């Protein structure tokens, strides 16, 4: 029943959004990127419109014209990879209702304490916080909490969806998996990176020219992937070091830092605040030197996360925000919850 509904959603999206887009501009269907190679990365799917990391959300982002779809990857008790952002289930599922008593002492329900079969019993819900025992949406204007039916899915299921759509549409949309929380997985006895690479290899992602970027916040682990795991498995992939200001702002500022990163990575994925001086105001944008140093080192730059609900004080609106990053600072792609608005912006740009 669920599958049937999902298929209907695909059909609808592809007939209305995607297919009409094809008729209007056939070139866009094949080049796989927009406006001078700038790429649109669907952050956790079509997160502005449907619950994050659901197959429905991924199909919608695909139909909206994303170049890459993002997967955050967390391991289960039975060593499967599921597509979820958090290592806990508290904020995007009804786990408290289905498995009461399965929380750890800290009150959290960890993905790693459940098998894939158990996780499939949960409903996925638009992201929320629990306030006085009640669910409160993180983004109040997004998909309503607890409506319709969405499920957790494995990494393989998502790759099969994207590769299936690539076959049926003739497009070549890429994947953008993230190895989540390496330290936690290691503590639980799981080699999450090796598990990710095994699946990538099985599904044909083995070369730098394949439509994939593999990302992590953990520089040491990304270096291990580059120096040890990829050569061991006979693979070469484009790697992205994610950067998060509280942990990474200081060392990133040091001269030569980007040259070091470029020894094992192909791109950086910084929080967008790291690219813009705090002195920036509307009409007067001052870039930090990060973008120029990263580009000089040969790294691509894919900052996160672009949302219509979160417009920084230096931008007038979402379009202005996109223009600042993509054409003033000159980044190579962005992570967005709003693939449609970003693709439309790039299509309209002369």
Q: CB 348 → Ca ion: shortest distance, Å?
A: 28
Report the site for Ca ion in 57-76 (rule: CB under 5 A).
Answer: 72
Cα 272 to Cα 158: distance, rounded to the nearest angstrom: 27
72 or 86: CB nearest Ca ion: 72
In whole angstroms, the minimum distance from the beta carbon of 194 to Ca ion comes to 19
The DSSP string of 274-303 is GGB-TT-BTTB--B-SHHHHHHHTT-EE--
Beta strands in the chain (DSSP E): 39-42, 68-75, 81-83, 128-131, 134-137, 174-179, 213-216, 238-243, 267-270, 300-301, 333-336
295 is catalytic: no
CB of 178 to Ca ion, least distance (A): 4
- Looking at the Cβ atoms of 178 and 332, the one nearer to Ca ion is 178
CB of 279 to Ca ion, least distance (A): 29
Indicate the residue among 72 and 337 with the shorter CB distance to Ca ion.
72
Q: Cβ closer to Ca ion: 158 or 178?
A: 178
Active-site option among 34, 43, 53, 226: 43
Stretch 172-231 residues interacting with Ca ion (CB under 5 A): 178
Q: Which of 34, 53, 85, 185 is catalytic?
A: 85
Q: Does residue 85 carry a catalytic annotation?
A: yes
Cα distances from 38 to residues 35, 330, 334, 343, in angstroms, run 6, 9, 8, 10
By CB under 5 A, tell whether 300 contacts Ca ion.
no
Yes or no: say if 320 and 27 are a contact pair by the CB < 8 Å rule. Answer: no
Residue nearest to Ca ion (CB): 178
Min CB(79)–Ca ion separation in Å:
21
CB of 177 to Ca ion, least distance (A): 9
| Alpha helices, H only, 47-123 | 55-63, 95-98, 116-119
Give yes or no for a contact between 152 and 82, defined as CB atoms under 8 angstroms apart: yes
Distance CA 174, CA 61 (A): 12
Choose between 112 and 285: whose C-beta lies nearer to Ca ion.
112
CB proximity list for 164: less than 8 A, separation 6 or greater:
none
> Are 203 and 167 contacting, i.e. CB atoms less than 8 angstroms apart?
no
Q: How far apart are CA 259 and CA 238, in angstroms?
A: 16
Nearer to Ca ion, 99 or 158 (CB): 158
CB 52 within 8 A of CB 5: no
The residues that are catalytic are 43, 85
- Interface positions with Ca ion (CB under 5 A): 72, 178
């Amino acid at each position: 029943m669920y599958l049937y509904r999902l298929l209907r959603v695909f059909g609808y999206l592809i007939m209305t959004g995607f297919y009409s887009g094809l008729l209007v501009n056939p070139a866009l269907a094949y080049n796989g990127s927009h406006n001078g190679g700038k790429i649109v990365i669907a952050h956790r799917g079509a997160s502005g419109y449907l619950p994050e990391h659901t197959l429905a959300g991924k199909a919608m982002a695909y139909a909206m014209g994303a170049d890459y779809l993002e997967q955050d990857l967390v391991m289960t008790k039975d060593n499967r990879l599921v597509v979820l952002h958090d290592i806990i289930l508290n904020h995007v599922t009804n786990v408290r209702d289905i498995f009461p008593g399965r929380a750890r002492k800290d009150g959290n329900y960890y993905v790693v304490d459940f098998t894939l079969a158990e996780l499939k019993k949960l409903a996925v819900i638009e992201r929320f916080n629990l306030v006085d025992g009640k669910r409160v949406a993180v983004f109040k204007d997004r998909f309503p909490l607890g409506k319709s039916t969405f499920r957790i899915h494995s990494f393989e299921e998502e790759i099969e969806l994207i590769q299936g759509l690539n076959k049926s549409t003739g497009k070549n949309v890429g994947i953008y998996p993230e190895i989540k929380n390496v330290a936690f997985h290691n503590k639980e006895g799981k080699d999450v990176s090796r598990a990710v690479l095994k699946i990538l290899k099985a599904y044909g992602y083995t070369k730098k020219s394949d439509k994939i970027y593999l990302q992590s916040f953990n520089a040491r682990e990304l270096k291990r992937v580059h120096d040890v795991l990829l050569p061991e498995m006979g693979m070469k992939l484009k790697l992205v070091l994610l950067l998060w200001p509280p942990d990474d702002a200081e060392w990133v500022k040091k001269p030569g830092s980007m040259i070091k990163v470029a020894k094992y990575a192909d791109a950086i994925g910084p929080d967008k605040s790291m690219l813009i001086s705090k002195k920036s105001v509307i009409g007067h944008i001052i870039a930090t030197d990060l973008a120029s140093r990263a580009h000089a080192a040969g790294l691509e730059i894919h900052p996160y996360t672009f949302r219509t609900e979160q417009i920084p004080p230096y931008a007038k609106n979402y379009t202005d925000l996109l223009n600042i990053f993509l054409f003033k600072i000159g980044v190579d792609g962005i992570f967005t919850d709003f693939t449609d608005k970003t693709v439309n912006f790039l299509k309209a740009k002369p």
